[in-house]
Amino acid sequence: MRASTSRLRLTQRSRLSWTSWRLRRATRAQARAEQRLVLLQLETDHQLLRLKELEQERLSLLHRQAEMAEARSFREQTLPALPPSPRAELDRLLGL
């Protein structure tokens, strides 16, 4: 009877030890999973912010491009033709 009680206690202790080990292991795995989730959320937020910045930059550049085209056409319409440079006039007179 003494041996069977001792064996029962040993078995119970072994089960308790195994259960505690599994609990610690599961707790650590859960903590790692939560940490990965937080990092993924931060990365997603960062990528969304970057996407918005790039979209804003693209729109700004498109607006600038349209303004430059408008300014160029305005200058071409309003500026008179430039007189020939003195060097070009001299070359023309000398027949060069």
- Side-chain half-sphere CA neighbours of 89 within 13 A: 5
Domain that holds residue 35: 2-76
The answer as to whether 40 is a domain residue is: yes
The answer as to whether 69 is a domain residue is: yes
Domain count, the chain: 1
Predicted local confidence at residue 13, as pLDDT: 81
The answer as to whether 45 is a domain residue is: yes
Helix%, strand%, coil% for the chain, nearest 5: 90, 0, 10
The answer as to whether 81 is a domain residue is: no
The answer as to whether 47 is a domain residue is: yes
Distance of CA 32 to the CA centre of its chain: 23
Can you spell out the DSSP letters for 42-58? Answer: HHHHHHHHHHHHHHHHH
The answer as to whether 82 is a domain residue is: no
Predicted local confidence at residue 2, as pLDDT: 66
Q: Which residues of 49-84 are buried (b: 16+ CB within 10 A; e: fewer)?
A: eeeeeeeeeeeeeeeeeeeeeeeeeeeeeeeeeeee
Q: What is the pLDDT along the chain (96 residues), one digit of tens a residue?
A: 566 777 878 788 888 888 999 999 999 999 999 999 999 999 999 999 999 999 999 999 999 999 999 998 888 887 777 777 778 888 888 877
